[in-house]
Amino acid sequence: MSVKRWVGRRLEHLVRDQAGQVLPLIVIAMIPLVGMVGLAIDIGYAYYSQRTLQSSADAASLAGASQLPNTTSASSLAGQYGAGAGDKNAITNGGVSGVKETVSETCVASYPGCAPDNAVVVDETGNASTFFLRIFGINSIPIHARSTACGPCADRPADIVMVFDRTGSMCQLWSGGNDPSCAKLNAAKSGIETMLTALDPSLDRVGLVVLPPVDAGKSSCSTPSSTSYDSASSKYLVVPITSAYKKAGVLDHSSTLVSTVDCMPASGSTSYATALEQAQAELVKDGRPTALHYIVFFTDGAANTGPSYYGNSSPYRTQPCHQGVASANAIKSAGTTIFGIGYTLTGQGSTSNGCKSYSGANESPSITAYSAVQNISSNSSTFFDNETVSGLDAVFAAVANLITGPRLIPNQ
């Protein structure tokens, strides 16, 4: 064998020997590299899963807050929008397991509406599955999401005109006899003030229309006469749209708006249509084009009269409930949202409480107070019929919540 050939073979053996030594080193060096890549991938997936969980928690808290101040409804609806199995925002990608949700209500003092709670808190936990980290015995990574939403508290401006039924029935008992305490009237006033407390004067402006109207030349706190409807000079709008109803976050009873609500007496019969039209006229005249426009209409019964200056054949006189619906339809077509709040619209032990013309005859076609207010309202979510005076505060607070809307609160 030549020297050259022998040297070539020795070099080949030497290279093979070195290759056998390097391969284990490469394998050993790749173990932490694979671990680092696996850790990055699994942590990234866990972060994705946590954000999915956070989105469901946000949706749940916002849904719940939309029902405040009714804490029972808030908890129930929040539970339906969580990430658990069967919920509307259930995580179905298969990589998250053991999702648990807790819902609670709390009072966030920096926002209005603690009656007693103004916020919904949703906590959700679960486990994000791992892939590469399983080779190190790590099968999942725990994840957590927390969300708090308040209601009412959103930053969207609103111009609101309240249409308040202060007719004589507001100081009557179920039986029809007089109620010296005027329990219904006072409960409705309390409800209005609950709504005002939940609003923000820097965003929300409020006006007040009453029915029956105020006789010409009389104080807004005067008792309406039997002919209040019949004069075109009578005043329906007693407080134009204003932001002066709170001071330092507290209801200002010396303000024109709140003091007028406080002093209103009850007397007279019921006519919806012109009052609603006057409310819309105020929104057109003084409402901000950048604000949402609302009418909050409260009544405790059926319309039964109308202004005589329209003439006895006018639907304002012969069909006061139907005309109320027609007037409301025109208002809604103009973009104003109407909330209809009824109190005992069906009457005690009755399913009718039918509307009547100015003459006392039943409206034709027939229509009930319940149906009238329901159709005056913009939709089913803006219609309320309450059967107890103690529940009016909650109804008006719910209206304030729908107007202002819920909002997520960070860092709670």
Q: How far, in Å, CA of 405 to CA of 337, rounded? A: 14
Structure tokens, 246? 């709170």
The verdict on 354 and 220 lying in the same domain is: yes
At 384, the amino acid letter reads F
- The string of pLDDT tens digits covering residues 276-330 is 999 999 999 999 998 999 999 999 989 999 999 999 999 999 999 999 999 999 9
User: Is residue 373's pLDDT more than 70?
Assistant: yes
Shortest CA distance to 78 belongs to which of 95, 108, 101? 101
Give me the CATH number covering residue 401.
3.40.50.410
The verdict on 320 and 216 lying in the same domain is: yes
Of the candidate ranges 10-19, 263-272, 354-363, the one whose mean pLDDT is the lowest: 10-19
> Which residue do the tokens 């029972």 mark?
72
Structure tokens, 230? 């019949």
| 134: in domain | yes
Mean per-residue pLDDT over the chain, rounded: 86
| 5: in domain | no
Phi, psi angle pair for 372, to nearest 5°: -65, -50
Q: How far, in Å, CA of 205 to CA of 314, rounded? A: 34
What pLDDT, on a 0 to 100 scale, did the predictor assign at position 216? 94
Shortest CA distance to 67 belongs to which of 402, 407, 412? 402
Of the candidate ranges 14-18, 165-169, 203-207, 356-360, the one whose mean pLDDT is the lowest: 14-18
Per the model's pLDDT, the better-predicted residue between 2 and 278 turns out to be: 278
The verdict on 306 and 383 lying in the same domain is: yes
The verdict on 175 and 116 lying in the same domain is: no
Average pLDDT of the residues in 246-257: 94
User: Is residue 239's pLDDT more than 70?
Assistant: yes
What pLDDT, on a 0 to 100 scale, did the predictor assign at position 56? 84
| 362: in domain | yes
The verdict on 175 and 144 lying in the same domain is: no
Query: Structural domain tally of the chain?
Result: 2
What pLDDT, on a 0 to 100 scale, did the predictor assign at position 326? 98
What pLDDT, on a 0 to 100 scale, did the predictor assign at position 318? 97
What pLDDT, on a 0 to 100 scale, did the predictor assign at position 11? 46
Give the 3-state secondary structure of residue 272. Answer: coil
Per the model's pLDDT, the better-predicted residue between 209 and 386 turns out to be: 209
| 4: in domain | no
The verdict on 74 and 55 lying in the same domain is: yes
Q: How confident is the model at residue 259 (pLDDT cuts 50, 70, 90)?
A: very high
Q: Rg of the Cα trace of the chain?
A: 33
Strands 407-408 and 383-386: unpaired
Spacing of C-alpha 313 from chain mean position: 41
| 1: in domain | no
The verdict on 205 and 343 lying in the same domain is: yes
- The string of pLDDT tens digits covering residues 284-295 is 999 999 899 999
Average pLDDT of the residues in 231-239: 97
What pLDDT, on a 0 to 100 scale, did the predictor assign at position 90? 77
Q: How confident is the model at residue 350 (pLDDT cuts 50, 70, 90)?
A: very low
Q: Please say which residue of 150, 181, 206 terminates a domain.
A: 150
Average pLDDT of the residues in 7-33: 53
Are 229 and 212 contacting, i.e. CB atoms less than 8 angstroms apart? Answer: yes
Q: Please say which residue of 104, 121, 150 terminates a domain.
A: 150
| 412: in domain | no
Are 395 and 143 contacting, i.e. CB atoms less than 8 angstroms apart? Answer: no
User: Is residue 3's pLDDT more than 50?
Assistant: no
Please state the pTM of the whole predicted model.
Answer: 0.73
Are 354 and 363 contacting, i.e. CB atoms less than 8 angstroms apart? Answer: yes
What pLDDT, on a 0 to 100 scale, did the predictor assign at position 45? 81
* DSSP at 178: B
Average pLDDT of the residues in 195-221: 95
Pick left, alpha or beta for residue 283 (phi over 0 → left; psi -120 to 50 → alpha; otherwise beta): alpha
Average pLDDT of the residues in 228-235: 96
What pLDDT, on a 0 to 100 scale, did the predictor assign at position 27? 53
Structure tokens, 251? 């209801």
Question: Domain range holding 164?
Answer: 158-406
The verdict on 228 and 84 lying in the same domain is: no
Structure tokens, 305? 């009269």
The verdict on 213 and 323 lying in the same domain is: yes
Q: How confident is the model at residue 353 (pLDDT cuts 50, 70, 90)?
A: confident
The verdict on 255 and 128 lying in the same domain is: no
The verdict on 63 and 18 lying in the same domain is: yes
Per the model's pLDDT, the better-predicted residue between 382 and 412 turns out to be: 382
Structure tokens, 80? 């339906």
Average pLDDT of the residues in 55-72: 86
| 6: in domain | no
Per the model's pLDDT, the better-predicted residue between 83 and 389 turns out to be: 83
User: Is residue 28's pLDDT more than 70?
Assistant: no
Q: Please say which residue of 150, 170, 205 terminates a domain.
A: 150
| 244: in domain | yes
- The string of pLDDT tens digits covering residues 93-150 is 667 888 889 999 998 887 766 778 889 999 999 998 888 878 778 888 999 999 999 8
Per the model's pLDDT, the better-predicted residue between 204 and 351 turns out to be: 204
- The string of pLDDT tens digits covering residues 124-140 is 999 988 888 787 788 88
Average pLDDT of the residues in 8-22: 52
The verdict on 113 and 218 lying in the same domain is: no
What pLDDT, on a 0 to 100 scale, did the predictor assign at position 15? 46
Beta strand spans in 215-324 (E): 235-242, 246-247, 250-251, 292-299
Of the candidate ranges 66-70, 150-154, 192-196, the one whose mean pLDDT is the lowest: 150-154
What pLDDT, on a 0 to 100 scale, did the predictor assign at position 23? 55
What pLDDT, on a 0 to 100 scale, did the predictor assign at position 12? 55
